[in-house]
Chains A and B, each alone.
Chain A
């Protein structure tokens, strides 16, 4: 369990994949959304956001979201 609890708002997501780009670069040193620990799919009005099992809630995806589709709160144990 990581430092943050990550909340998602699918209604605000634009599918820009800034989250996947940042996540993949941090952990693989390459921009490769297919290796990201967060997965976003927007198609027309539909959107899904899910996290892979190896996501450790580090929150870098939130730092790169410009649309408030991802937000984070510090877990109680880390406060």
Chain B
């Protein structure tokens, strides 16, 4: 039986000298790291020189799509980028629903793309099957992310996968993002700026080679049963209808239905969570906006916008520029506090900062993007503001993690206060704070602990770890508790498995997958032997290697310290009892997390013995 799933090639592009090489995929390496996210981490580890400036030509962008991408297994179109990120200074991942880009990249015949160097003029990379060309992008430079996508589709037609950034990326704003097919994002961390530093406006891809499956008969049996499970899910229609509004009903259904134009699904996804909306009335009537969720368009509402139509218009502007909206609004709130207290002197404020005003926020988004006046300081992010305005400014800063504002918690946009794996993960994911379920049961509030073992089994947690995660589980006399740090280890491991295969980690779909099924799908698609134990071992290997990549960069446990402001009143609460959470308790969770991976409990450094066990010693 021949190997399936993989496209069998890695594309190398050096923008400095224009060299383009296609290398055969090292299948042994792919097996050791599963593929997708795992192998992207390994290739990045091997390519990033320690100490590299994120915005230097030497910093590579490594892209990857897993072995299931291109098949019709549900929601298998994920795309990952790993690079050294300018916002956090860490080596981290950016992930995106692949929309069309993921399957077209695989169909063009590539599993991974490694881009190095810096072009001497604005360029875009065009990949059409075997033909790979570095093209002039003078006509695209200066355009917004959506405008660029439209212009490239006008040139190349559909289907074409488009990865691009806006003017913020061109001007090296460290919290600029990249877009996939105009609707999904390779978000937090600054991938837009890394593309800008390379003079790389976009990557476009078309592919017609196809993806084969090694064992068609087994694949068919497994996938038909699986699809039937999804079809029978009682809430399927509701998920399809409402998208993320089902989980987070922050918009009245009537308002949502009044603007919904189309549900968009990434290729192979039977649920669909992306939205195309049109403003039905008011000053911006007729504005059509594509978004990875309509909820994103309400970010300005969280910061005081009263009119949701103005909020959508504001997000349309921010997305064109390619700014990270959460970071932008966090910064503007901070800047407003500094202005109100005279720390930013009035003469530097040529425009009022009002986080509830469309005119003000659009104005500041433009100033930041084009780095005009005070906007140039704000464009350097929280770190830049603190450097500029000194110690006095710190009092007004929100809790920060790796120089970025967390999504969730006291002072953040989302004021969820129960401390589960996502909340702790904001500190412990190398990329910095972000939101994501990663399959963890604590993503939703107030789940009773008796349902946790079912989720742990699904996520591939070995039974011997259950008692460590849920002490008292099997002892009627002992009160049950939840060890969030230990659970987070397995949440990250489960995310690693899904990402390496190419499966979406969003809660609406990953609820249907389990570790055993993942191993079986991997075997059927690739023809490579796999079981749950081997998947676990590979997850341990790839996440530990990501840890090593950051330790090599000088990351230590101090960079993962919990913000003290999280523990002043009103702070986070325990997930189970909803009592106030103490700093020491949080610190013990971090130690538990390190310990569960087998890393040194106090420092988080993997021991030489562990590295040897995981086959990482040569790294």
Asked whether A and B interact, the reply is yes
Check if A32 sits within 8 Å of B211, measured CB to CB: yes
State whether the Cβ of B262 lies closer than 8 Å to any Cβ in chain A: yes
State whether the Cβ of B272 lies closer than 8 Å to any Cβ in chain A: yes
Render B63-106 as a binary contact track against A, CB cut-off 8 A, 1 for contact.
00000001110000000000000000000000000001001000
State whether the Cβ of A31 lies closer than 8 Å to any Cβ in chain B: yes
Residues on A with beta carbons closer than 8 Å to the beta carbon of B557:
none
Task: Using CB atoms, name the residue of chain A closest to B274.
Answer: A14
If the complex has contacts A43-B158, A45-B276, A64-B72, are A29 and B216 also in contact, measured as CB distance less than 8 A? yes
Nearest Cβ in chain B — how far from A20, in angstroms? 9
If the complex has contacts A16-B268, A44-B276, A45-B261, are A31 and B290 also in contact, measured as CB distance less than 8 A? no
Render B375-392 as a binary contact track against A, CB cut-off 8 A, 1 for contact.
000000000000000000
Interface residue stretch chosen among A33-41, A51-59, A71-79: A33-41
Render B540-575 as a binary contact track against A, CB cut-off 8 A, 1 for contact.
000000000000000000000000000000000000
The 8 Å CB contact of A44, one of B265, B269, B290, is: B290
Check if B267 sits within 8 Å of A17, measured CB to CB: yes
**Interface residues in B178-237 (C-beta closer than 8 Å to A):** 182, 207-213, 216, 227, 230-231, 236
**Interface residues in A6-40 (C-beta closer than 8 Å to B):** 11, 13-18, 21-22, 24-25, 28-35
The 8 Å CB contact of A35, one of B72, B158, B210, B231, is: B210
| Docked CA distance A23–B72 (Å) | 11
Nearest Cβ in chain B — how far from A3, in angstroms? 20
Residues on B with beta carbons closer than 8 Å to the beta carbon of A34:
107, 207-208, 210
If the complex has contacts A14-B262, A17-B267, A33-B107, are A45 and B72 also in contact, measured as CB distance less than 8 A? no
Nearest Cβ in chain B — how far from A70, in angstroms? 13
Residues on A with beta carbons closer than 8 Å to the beta carbon of B231:
66
Residues on B with beta carbons closer than 8 Å to the beta carbon of A28:
210
| Docked CA distance A30–B269 (Å) | 18
Residues on A with beta carbons closer than 8 Å to the beta carbon of B213:
25, 31
Task: Using CB atoms, name the residue of chain B closest to A24.
Answer: B210
State whether the Cβ of A47 lies closer than 8 Å to any Cβ in chain B: yes
Render B288-300 as a binary contact track against A, CB cut-off 8 A, 1 for contact.
1010000000000
| Docked CA distance A35–B208 (Å) | 8
Residues on B with beta carbons closer than 8 Å to the beta carbon of A43:
153, 158
If the complex has contacts A31-B70, A31-B71, A47-B262, are A21 and B268 also in contact, measured as CB distance less than 8 A? yes
Task: Using CB atoms, name the residue of chain A closest to B183.
Answer: A44
Nearest Cβ in chain A — how far from B118, in angstroms? 32
Check if A45 sits within 8 Å of B268, measured CB to CB: no
Check if A25 sits within 8 Å of B265, measured CB to CB: no
Check if A45 sits within 8 Å of B209, measured CB to CB: no
Nearest Cβ in chain B — how far from A25, in angstroms? 7
State whether the Cβ of B159 lies closer than 8 Å to any Cβ in chain A: yes
Residues on A with beta carbons closer than 8 Å to the beta carbon of B227:
64
State whether the Cβ of B582 lies closer than 8 Å to any Cβ in chain A: no
Check if A21 sits within 8 Å of B72, measured CB to CB: yes
Residues on A with beta carbons closer than 8 Å to the beta carbon of B276:
44-45
The 8 Å CB contact of B265, one of A14, A22, A24, is: A14
Residues on B with beta carbons closer than 8 Å to the beta carbon of A32:
107, 208-211
Render B258-285 as a binary contact track against A, CB cut-off 8 A, 1 for contact.
0001111111111110001010000000
State whether the Cβ of B240 lies closer than 8 Å to any Cβ in chain A: yes
Nearest Cβ in chain A — how far from B148, in angstroms? 14
Check if B264 sits within 8 Å of A17, measured CB to CB: no
Residues on A with beta carbons closer than 8 Å to the beta carbon of B264:
14-15, 42
Residues on A with beta carbons closer than 8 Å to the beta carbon of B269:
14, 16
Residues on A with beta carbons closer than 8 Å to the beta carbon of B268:
16-18, 21
**Which one of B103, B153, B262, B268 has the highest number of Cβ atoms from chain A below 10 Å of its Cβ?**
B262
Task: Using CB atoms, name the residue of chain B closest to A25.
Answer: B72
Which residues of chain B have a CB within 8 Å of any CB of chain A? 70-72, 100, 103, 107, 153, 158-159, 182, 207-213, 216, 227, 230-231, 236, 240, 261-272, 276, 278, 288, 290
**Can you identify 29 A-B contacts, CB atoms within 8 angstroms?**
A14-B263, A14-B272, A16-B267, A17-B100, A18-B72, A18-B268, A24-B210, A30-B211, A30-B212, A31-B71, A31-B72, A31-B211, A31-B213, A32-B107, A32-B209, A33-B107, A33-B159, A34-B208, A35-B208, A41-B158, A43-B153, A44-B182, A44-B288, A45-B278, A47-B262, A66-B230, A66-B270, A67-B240, A67-B263
Which residues of chain A have a CB within 8 Å of any CB of chain B? 11, 13-18, 21-22, 24-25, 28-35, 41-45, 47, 64, 66-67
Beyond A29-B212, A34-B208, A64-B72, 14 additional pairs, beta carbon < 8 A: A14-B272, A15-B264, A18-B72, A28-B210, A33-B103, A34-B207, A34-B210, A35-B210, A41-B158, A42-B262, A47-B262, A66-B236, A66-B271, A67-B240
